[in-house]
Amino acid sequence: DGGITQSPKYLFRKEGQNVTLSCEQNLNHDAMYWYRQDPGQGLRLIYYSQIVNDFQKGDIAEGYSVSREKKESFPLTVTSAQKNPTAFYLCASSMGWGGPAGELFFGEGSRLTVL
């Protein structure tokens, strides 16, 4: 079935460690996105990519890094520079790469807890 797969679903990290969250899609979508969600709040945009080898900072990019080497994959690294990384991370994709964003398809999320 087509969709977006995020892994791991739950992740625990010690302070000072970098962690990488995986996001893979088989929808043949050009655009991919990473959002962060804190308890009881909306989504905030971390990074997005419209095509392979290109990505743009969102509203809260500090302490995060991404790569887009393949169309299907858009991993997110949460670095030790991120001051408050405990959150629910959501990856999404959408068709096309020009014009306004259309419907986003979301993965099931990865919950990161810093111990």
Q: What gap in Å lies between CA 79 and CA 86, rounded to an integer?
A: 12
Residue 16 found at the interface with another protein (CB under 8 A): no
Output the six-digit token pair for 112. 């990161």
Minimal distance in Å, beta carbon 78 to another protein?
19
Residue 48 found at the interface with another protein (CB under 8 A): yes
Q: How many residues bind another protein (CB under 8 A)?
A: 32
Among 97, 94, 90, 81, smallest CA distance to 112 is for 90
Mark 73-112 with x for binding to another protein (rule: CB under 8 A) and - for no binding: ---------------x-x-x----xxxxxxxxxxxxx-x-
C-beta closer to another protein: residue 28 or 102: 102
- DSSP-assigned states of every residue in 39-96: TT--EEEEEEESSTT--EE-SS-TTEEE--SBTTB--EEE-TT-S---EEEEEEEES-
Provide the binding-site residues for another protein, judged by CB under 8 A: 4, 31, 33, 35, 40-45, 48, 50, 56, 58-59, 88, 90, 92, 97-109, 111
